[in-house]
Structure 1
Amino acid sequence: MPRLIPDSGPQRVLAASNFVYTVGSGLYLTAGVLYFTEAVRLPAGQVGLGLGVAGLFALVSGVGVGHLADRCGARGVYVATLVVQALATAGFVLADSFWPFVLVVCVAAAAKAAGVAARSPLIRHYGGERPQEFRAYLRAVTNVGVSVGAVGAGWAVQVGTVTAYQLMVAGNAVAFVVSAVLLALLPPVAPLPSADGPRWIALRDRPYLLLTILDGVMAIQFKVLTVAIPLWLVGATAAPHWLISGTMLTGTVIVVLFQVRASRDIDCPEAGGRAYRRAGVAFLLSCSVVSLSAGVPAWAAAALLVTGVVIHTVGELWHSAAGFEVSFALAPRHATGQYLGVFGLGAGLAEALGPGLLIALCITWGRPGWYVVGALFAVTGLLTPAAVAWAHRQQLARRTGLGATEKATV
């Protein structure tokens, strides 16, 4: 078991703020789409279109706000993103037609992506000698918070009234405000001076951009548990439908118990590259096992699905830990927010494009599509160690060049 409470005060503040935030996120992630279709009465097609537009809109916010956090102080910028997210979420209750809906979800999605980038310098500054391990701890906290929020969302869905759904939205907005208030207890982080040279260095770092793309492809795996497996279970297998919740709970428990432990041995970029490779193999095996659950008795389908989810979640532990390591370790300290904002572009693309890709391959095509998806993950994992090595060599060359420049100046 990871430790329940971090050692230092700032880490405790960040963890508490993250927990409250993710309780609110759990409310929306579980039943946000149902709020717009059942309470607002928007057609499902319009909701899907609006969420897709919001996902693409969010891609442009992370890099700029991450750079702002580096230059102006991460705490204040992060608090501002939480306030904007709270206001946009509260605006959901006023969105009674398509275009107001698109406006509020775009603002909320952009603020969410910006907040991830703005929080990164805080994690690096207060994360101790191994901020990557503290980031893994926060991911475990995230899964606990989302699970708590999902319980509240379940109540709203069960009641099914407009008032219940609006209370769910209000709870989400209040959670963001409380999360921002808690950050007032966090000592501010002084902005680091920028290095000489171009301002947008992350967008010029070709190895890091390649890693962003590869991680984005691998990040499609997060939608396997939430999109592909539920649809496959209902449409192609004889497994009981309640197993959808069972598979989600299985994955959540594994992440909470083992994410920190999985991150401890991934302590350098090279280890991160190897973890990507292991994750790709695990996803290939998982997809193969899940594909076999069609056309078999219910008990066999259930056993195969649970086995596939366990294998997939082990791969998810490795993938997440690898992403924490390489994204932080290969980013210059003075540009952490900007670099992590760029790294988030990959996950943003996976968020926007992953569901459609998985539905087309795994659900529409069927069993062969699962093998194609698994092979995509495996090939991505095999390519990533070389990309990590390239990025690490460039980082060492950059440090050597800066050192030589400082000596010449002296």
Structure 2
Amino acid sequence: MPQLIPETGPQRAIAASNFVYTVGSGLYLTAGVLYFTQAVHLPVGQVGLGLAIAGFVSLAVGIAVGHLADRRGARGVYVTTLIVQAVGTAGFVLADNFWLFVLTVSIATGAKAAGLAARSPLIRRYGGDRPQEFRGYLRAVSNIGISLGALLAGWVVQVGTQSAYQLLVIGNAVSFVAAAAVLAWLPPIAPVPTVGGPRWIALRDRPYLLITVLDGIMAIQFKVLTVAIPLWLVEATTAPPWLISGTMLANTVLVIALQVRASRDIDSAEAGGRAYRRSGVAFLVACSLISLSAGMPTWAAVTLLLTAVVIHTVGELWHAAAGFEVSFALAPEHATGQYLGVFGLGAGLAEAVGPTLLISLCITWGRPGWYVVGAVFAVTGLVAPFAVRWAQHSQHAQEARLGVAEQASVA
């Protein structure tokens, strides 16, 4: 157990804040949609539309707030995003019509995206020699917190009353405030000095933007377990419905146990590129096995689906670790927040379009759609190492230009 606790005080503060935050997130991820449909009584179509609007609104927020964290100090900006997210979430109890729902969920979702970007300089500053590995540790902690939140949400769904759902919302908001309070033990970070050149350099970095797009395509895989497999299991296989929970449990346990180790072995941008390639192959194999489960006897369908989930999770570990490494390694230290805000665009787009895309291909089209999705993941993984090498070459060229400019200014 002592080995599971971060060595330094700042790392412990970040990890504790992250844990409290994700317990609240687990509440919302499990039963948030049910709150709006069962307690607020909004139509399912309006809830889906509102969440999509909020997703697109949040895309640009991360870049601006990440830049603000670089220039004004990351701790204060991150704490502010947590408070804003708490206010937006608490506003759910007042959202009794569609437009109030869109407003409050956009505030909460935008603050969440902003917080992820603002937290990045903190991870880089206090993550030790390998901040990417610490980011993997935080992901394992996140899965533990989300699992506990999901258990609490299960009680809310079982009770099913409006008061229980409102308690869920308030508990979620309180967790964000508590996460902000924990950061009081974190030493502040001085703003990073500016470097000559364009202000929004991340948006001009074409190799980094390409990697962002590739990671965004790969990030659609997160919706395979939460959207595609449950629908496929119920509609196309003879597997028992309880296996939906079994697949999620298997994925969560493996991520908690292995994410830190997976991140430790991927210790350079080149290794990150290779990990993208391996993850693409793993996703192709997993998608192929899922497609084969249709029409099989129950025992065979269960075996194929569980095997596919394990292989998919291995690919997820590689993909997450590759994203941690590449996004940090290729981002200049003076613009960490801005660059990580840009990198978050990929995951944001995957969040917005992933469910509809997977439902159209894997559920509506059926078995061929699984092969198409798997092939997209595999091709994306094959392209990633070339994009990483291009980004490294561009980074070295930029560093050389800055070095020449500094020498000229001294002379």
Alignment check: 8 A CA contact 1:280 1:377 kept: yes
Conservation of the 8 A alpha-carbon contact between 1:2 and 1:257: no
- Corresponding residue for residue 153 of structure 2: 153
SS of aligned partner of 2:4: coil
Letter of the aligned partner of 1:403 in structure 2? G
Partner of 1:76: 76
1:366-385 alignment runs, 5 A limit: 366-385=366-385
Is the 8 Å Cα contact of residues 2 and 260 (structure 1) preserved in structure 2? no
- Paired position in structure 1 for 2:307: 307
Determine the structure 1 residue equivalent to 2:290.
290
1:16-75 deviation line (CA, Å, top 9, x unaligned): 000000000000000100000000000000000000000001101000000000000000
Instruction: Please list every run of 5 or more consecutive structure 1 residues that lacks an aligned counterpart in the other structure.
Output: none
Is 1:321 the counterpart of 2:321? The answer is yes
CA distance in 1, matches of 2:334, 2:290: 44
* CA deviations over 1:160-218 (Å, ceiling 9, x no partner): 00011111111100000000000111000001101001100000000000000000000
Counterpart for residue 391 of structure 1:
391
Equivalent residue number for residue 140 of structure 2: 140
AA paired with 1:257? Answer: A
The match for 1:120 is 120
In structure 1, the partner of 2:34 is 34
Mark the runs of 5 or more structure 2 residues left unpaired by the alignment. Answer: none
* 1:19–1:145 Cα contact (<8 Å) kept: yes
**Contact between 1:2 and 1:258, CA under 8 Å: does it hold in 2?**
no
Deviation of residue 408 (structure 1)? Answer: 2.0
The equivalent residue for 2:408 is 408
Q: Tell me how far 1:409 sits from its aligned partner.
A: 2.0
Relative to the length of structure 2, the TM-score reads: 0.99
AA aligned opposite 2:316:
E
Q: Which amino acid aligns with 2:76?
A: G
What does 1:262-273 correspond to in 2, within 5 Å? 262-273=262-273
Q: Structure 1 residues 2, 46: CA separation in 2 closer, same or farther (over 3 Å shift)?
A: farther
CA distance in structure 2 between the partners assigned to 1:141 and 1:289 by the alignment: 30
Give the equivalent residue in structure 2 for 1:131.
131
Q: Secondary structure at the match of 2:103?
A: helix
Shift of 1:2: 9.8
Give me the identity figure in percent: 75
Equivalent position amino acid for 1:140 in 2: A
Tell me how far apart the structure 1 counterparts of residues 68 and 198 of structure 2 sit (CA, whole Å). Answer: 15
Task: Please give the alpha-carbon distance, in whole angstroms, between the structure 2 residues aligned to 1:178 and 1:253.
Answer: 26
Cα distance in 2, alignment partners of residues 295 and 265 from structure 1: 39
Q: Kindly provide the amino acid, as one letter, of the partner of residue 307 in structure 2.
A: T
The alignment of Structure 1 onto Structure 2 pairs a total of residues equal to 410
Q: Distance in 1 between matches of 2:89 and 2:11?
A: 27
1:3 Cα offset (Å):
3.2
3-state SS in 2 of match to 1:3: helix
1:108 matches 2:87: no
Partner of 1:260: 260
For residue 294 of structure 1, give the secondary structure of its aligned residue in structure 2. Answer: coil
Instruction: Give yes or no for contact 1:287–1:371 (8 Å, CA) kept in 2.
Output: yes
CA–CA distance in 2 between the matches of 1:44 and 1:4?
A: 41
| Counterpart code for 1:109 | T
CA contact (8 A) 1:247 1:309 kept: yes
CA displacement, residues 106-153 of structure 1 (integer Å, 9 cap, x when unaligned): 111100000000000000000001000000000000000000000010
1:63-114 deviation line (CA, Å, top 9, x unaligned): 0000000000000000000000000000000000111001000111100000
**Residues 251 and 309 of structure 1 are in contact (CA less than 8 Å); yes or no, is this contact kept in structure 2?**
yes
**Corresponding residue for 1:23?**
23
* Residue matched to 1:9: 9
**CA distance in 2 between partners of 1:229 and 1:141 (Å):** 24
- Structure 2 match to 1:194: 194
Q: Which position in structure 2 is the counterpart of 1:337?
A: 337
The offset of 1:264, in angstroms, is 1.1
Contact conserved, 1:2 with 1:261, CA < 8 A, in 2? no
Q: Write the letter of the residue equivalent to 1:123.
A: I
Give the CA RMSD over aligned residues. Answer: 0.8
Secondary structure of the structure 2 residue equivalent to 1:239: coil
Q: Partner amino acid for 2:372?
A: V
Q: Which amino acid aligns with 2:184?
A: A
Q: Deviations over 1:280-337 (max 9, x none)?
A: 0000000000111110111111111000000000000000000000000000000000
Match of 1:226 in 2: 226
Give the residue type in structure 1 aligned to 2:45. G
Q: Is the CA contact (8 Å cut-off) linking 1:70 and 1:337 kept in structure 2?
A: yes
In structure 2, do the counterparts of structure 1 residues 155 and 261 end up closer, same or farther at CA, with 3 Å as the change threshold? same
Residues 307, 2 of structure 1: CA spacing in aligned structure 2 closer, same or farther, 3 A cutoff? farther
| Gap change, CA 1:3 and 1:290, over 3 Å in 2 | farther
Q: Distance in 2 between matches of 1:104 and 1:314?
A: 36
Runs of 4 or more, structure 1, over 4 Å off, are: none
Please name the residue that 2:347 is paired with: 347
Work out the CA distance in 1 between the residues paired with 2:2 and 2:345. 29
- Distance in 2 (CA, whole Å) between partners of 1:114 and 1:305 is 36
* Secondary structure, counterpart of 1:192 in structure 2: coil
